[in-house]
Chains A and B, each alone.
Chain A
Amino acid sequence: MPTMTYRQAVTEAIATEMRKDDSIVFFGEDVAKAGGVFKVTPGIYEEFGPLRVRDTPISEQAIIGAALGAAITGLRPVAELMFADFIPVAMDQIVNQVAKYRFMSGGQFTVPLTIRASQGAGGGFGTQHSQCAESWLMNFPGLKVVAPSTPADMYGLLRAAIRDDDPVIVLEHKSLYNLVGEVDLNAAPEALGTAEVIRRGEDITLVATQQMLHRALEAADKLAEEGIKPEVIDLRTLVPLDGATILRSVQRTSRLIIVEEAPRLGGWGASVAALVADEGLFYLDAPIKRVNMENALIAYSPVLEDEIIPNAQKIEKAVRQLLS
């Protein structure tokens, strides 16, 4: 199996699908000739040409609106919004148009549209370029939200998103772009909506995504040295949310910690906690705990940014507390 970076997995996924399906077009700001600000899409323009791969003006609303119009008339667009922090600029198009178009038309249209954006803290980008966007987008039926954590998942889930007949927002964590992993280029694309148990364990369930997943795994390694065996679940898609996998795990471990990079209030972790409280309360031997960024903003200064994002030590501490 070839190894590649998370960044290359994005390029490979787009190119693979574009080779198979002429109706896929790809556009965004500086994605074509320059290959993207994070150099995530080099070579796509050269391979597929200016009709299908385009640099756009700096017009986030128009990018999404155009992608929607193209999606309902026979193309399968992949649109990039660069930083997920720019999603709010295009929020009306995403939540009032893209999410509702199929519904408002009574099913006359499907919206096979993929929106990509890079998100997350840890890079010193400051408060307007470091947020996680998934929780903002979960309250809009009609959208699907994907957050891949590994090169293999980036390749598989992005391909699945492009093939999906519903609008899918794929959030790439920018701290993971250099992560290297094995990718099965011939794997059959899956349907969106399944979480994965990344590490088996019996003492406690840790649910996380992206950067926090890797920190949870780091914490699990540490805890294993003390004989504590956490089970670690990667959600992979936030919508649809795979509640069944979480409930099954909590049924075995009786304890749940949700690790989330974004602020606590209104975060996806609250929905996961509510789901388990609703349907799995009697599996639990301890309260559900959430390890989050506090309800504060991400500073530029490295010491402040590092302090606010959950790390392996904070996760370990929460696990020990819950088991004691």
Chain B
Amino acid sequence: MVKIRLAEEEIQNLFMANLVRGTTHLAIGQEACAAGVALALSKGDTVTCTYRGHGHALALGMSLRSLMAEMMGKESGACKGRGGSMHMTDKSIGLLGANAIVGAQLPIAMGAALTAQVKRAGAIAVTFFGDGAANIGLFHESMNMASVWKLPLLFICENNLYGEYSHIRETTPIDDIADRAAAYAMPGLIVDGQDVEAVYAATESAARRARNGEGPTLLELKTYRYGGHSRADTGPYRKPGELAQWQERDPIDILTARMFADGELDQEEFLEIKDAMAQEVFDAVEWAKAEPFPSLQSLDDFVYASGRRPCLR
């Protein structure tokens, strides 16, 4: 969680310095969702997520170098600079891809779950999406199909109360997305998304259920993004005091307070960990800055596996 936060703070700096182009969507404040879910997964499991996905990638074990190079559009990025922030993909850790079309990642994870079922691999698939995505048709199509086929799939809704600049109350007639699970005959659980241990426990039991062939589960993680939706958005549409209220339940603070109290960690050790991670982030950024951009001769690469051009003459 600390690594994710430090990395995302640095990504924002890089964006302001114009080293990261286009747009970024930070998940600062939501780190426990990514970390808790990732902790409960095993090798061979697969994940799709959203454009707000740096945290998911890092939680699954993506290398900071590979991530930072991709952020800067470098050839040594995970996607060789073709993807960028919104399409972060790392096959080696089971990250099938972040997606920039709201809700489009849900059926893709469902397909991965289908593969696991057909190959009887014992693996599961996970898809992360926002509260806003619960109003996209594909949410409903995917929940329905996954339930009919009893696929080993976890639907993880990170409900951060906003879809872009609109509060959930303005777009959705219910407060709890988990209620929608009933319509698709699967369990729907509300989880404290700021408490990484709660997220882990809920994911672990839903994953066990999926691996046992009992089908999909919808987990709704109640969470909050401290930053705006993207880029330079500061969130002027938020109620006064709302941010401060959520910051009192900061996921990193909740975990460290518990660990301090249990004697598992002390302040000094925590600062050491933090320093080491800050150094790691700094090194990755400096390394990525020095890496080359893709060559202009590679424009056609990765369009077709067969390498054929669409027009033969």
Give me the interface of A with B, judged by CB distance under 8 Å.
Answer: 25, 51-52, 54, 56-57, 59, 61-62, 64-75, 77, 92-93, 96-97, 101-112, 138, 141-142, 144, 164-166, 191, 193, 239-244, 247, 275, 279
Give per-residue flags for B80-105: 1 if the beta carbon is below 8 A from chain A beta carbons, else 0.
Answer: 11110001011100001101010010
10 A-B contact pairs sorted by A residue (CB < 8 Å):
A65-B138, A66-B110, A69-B115, A69-B125, A72-B96, A73-B112, A103-B303, A106-B77, A107-B80, A109-B89
A239 to B77 alpha-carbon distance, docked (Å) = 30
- The 6 A-B residue pairs with the shortest CB-CB distance in the complex, in nearest-first order: A69-B111, A65-B107, A106-B80, A106-B79, A62-B141, A243-B313
Supposing A57-B141, A73-B46, A241-B310 touch, asked if A108 and B115 sit within 8 A by C-beta, the answer is no
Does the CB pair B110–A72 fall under 8 Å?
no
Does the CB pair B145–A108 fall under 8 Å?
no
A111 to B305 alpha-carbon distance, docked (Å) = 8
A99 to B242 alpha-carbon distance, docked (Å) = 41
Q: How many residues of B contact A (CB 8 A)?
A: 53
- Give which listed residue, B81, B89, B137, B144, contacts A57 with CB less than 8 A: B144
Does the CB pair A105–B138 fall under 8 Å?
no
Chain B residues closer than 8 Å to A102, beta-carbon distance: 302-305
- Given A70-B114, A106-B82, A138-B310, 12 other A-B residues pairs in contact with their CB atoms under 8 A: A57-B148, A59-B144, A62-B145, A67-B111, A72-B111, A74-B115, A92-B104, A96-B101, A109-B91, A110-B305, A111-B305, A142-B303
Does the CB pair A61–B107 fall under 8 Å?
yes
Supposing A62-B142, A275-B311 touch, asked if A105 and B108 sit within 8 A by C-beta, the answer is no
- Give which listed residue, B96, B99, B106, B118, contacts A52 with CB less than 8 A: B118
Chain A residues closer than 8 Å to B90, beta-carbon distance: 108
- Give which listed residue, B79, B114, B305, B309, contacts A69 with CB less than 8 A: B114
B301 within 8 A of A: yes
A226 to chain B: closest CB distance in Å?
33
B68 to chain A: closest CB distance in Å?
15
Chain A residues closer than 8 Å to B118, beta-carbon distance: 25, 51-52, 70, 75
A141 to B108 alpha-carbon distance, docked (Å) = 20
B178 within 8 A of A: no
Give me the interface of B with A, judged by CB distance under 8 Å.
Answer: 46, 48, 77-83, 87, 89-91, 96-97, 99, 101, 104, 106-119, 125, 137-138, 141-142, 144-145, 148-149, 301-306, 308-313
A108 to B114 alpha-carbon distance, docked (Å) = 20
B133 to chain A: closest CB distance in Å?
13
- Give which listed residue, B79, B110, B148, B309, contacts A105 with CB less than 8 A: B79
A71 to B144 alpha-carbon distance, docked (Å) = 21
Chain A residues closer than 8 Å to B149, beta-carbon distance: 54
Does the CB pair A240–B309 fall under 8 Å?
yes
Does the CB pair B138–A75 fall under 8 Å?
no
Q: B interface, by DSSP: helix, strand, loop or mixed? A: mixed
Chain A residues closer than 8 Å to B148, beta-carbon distance: 57
Chain A residues closer than 8 Å to B137, beta-carbon distance: 61
B304 to chain A: closest CB distance in Å?
5
Does the CB pair B145–A242 fall under 8 Å?
no
Supposing A96-B101, A106-B78, A241-B311 touch, asked if A65 and B303 sit within 8 A by C-beta, the answer is no
Supposing A54-B149, A74-B119 touch, asked if A65 and B106 sit within 8 A by C-beta, the answer is yes
Chain B residues closer than 8 Å to A77, beta-carbon distance: 111
Chain B residues closer than 8 Å to A74, beta-carbon distance: 115, 119
Chain A: CB-nearest residue to B114: A70
Chain B residues closer than 8 Å to A105, beta-carbon distance: 79, 82-83, 87, 89, 91, 97, 302
Name, among A51, A56, A69, A193, the residue most crowded by chain B CB atoms within 10 Å (CB to CB): A69
Does the CB pair A65–B104 fall under 8 Å?
yes
Supposing A69-B125, A142-B304 touch, asked if A104 and B313 sit within 8 A by C-beta, the answer is no
- Give which listed residue, A103, A109, A241, contacts B312 with CB less than 8 A: A241
A96 to B11 alpha-carbon distance, docked (Å) = 26
A305 to chain B: closest CB distance in Å?
32
A281 to chain B: closest CB distance in Å?
14
Chain B: CB-nearest residue to A96: B101
Chain B residues closer than 8 Å to A108, beta-carbon distance: 78-79, 89-91
A52 to B310 alpha-carbon distance, docked (Å) = 31
Chain B residues closer than 8 Å to A57, beta-carbon distance: 141, 144-145, 148
B279 to chain A: closest CB distance in Å?
28
Name, among A52, A239, A242, the residue most crowded by chain B CB atoms within 10 Å (CB to CB): A239
A9 to B99 alpha-carbon distance, docked (Å) = 37
Does the CB pair A69–B112 fall under 8 Å?
yes
Chain B residues closer than 8 Å to A138, beta-carbon distance: 310
Chain A residues closer than 8 Å to B142, beta-carbon distance: 62, 65
B62 to chain A: closest CB distance in Å?
12
Supposing A59-B145, A73-B112, A240-B312 touch, asked if A103 and B302 sit within 8 A by C-beta, the answer is yes
A85 to chain B: closest CB distance in Å?
18
Chain B residues closer than 8 Å to A70, beta-carbon distance: 111-112, 114-115, 118
Chain B: CB-nearest residue to A246: B313
- Give which listed residue, A51, A61, A107, contacts B138 with CB less than 8 A: A61
A110 to B307 alpha-carbon distance, docked (Å) = 12
B47 to chain A: closest CB distance in Å?
11
Does the CB pair A242–B312 fall under 8 Å?
yes
Chain A residues closer than 8 Å to B114, beta-carbon distance: 25, 66, 69-70, 75
Chain A: CB-nearest residue to B80: A106
Does the CB pair A69–B312 fall under 8 Å?
no
- Give which listed residue, A69, A103, A279, contacts B313 with CB less than 8 A: A279
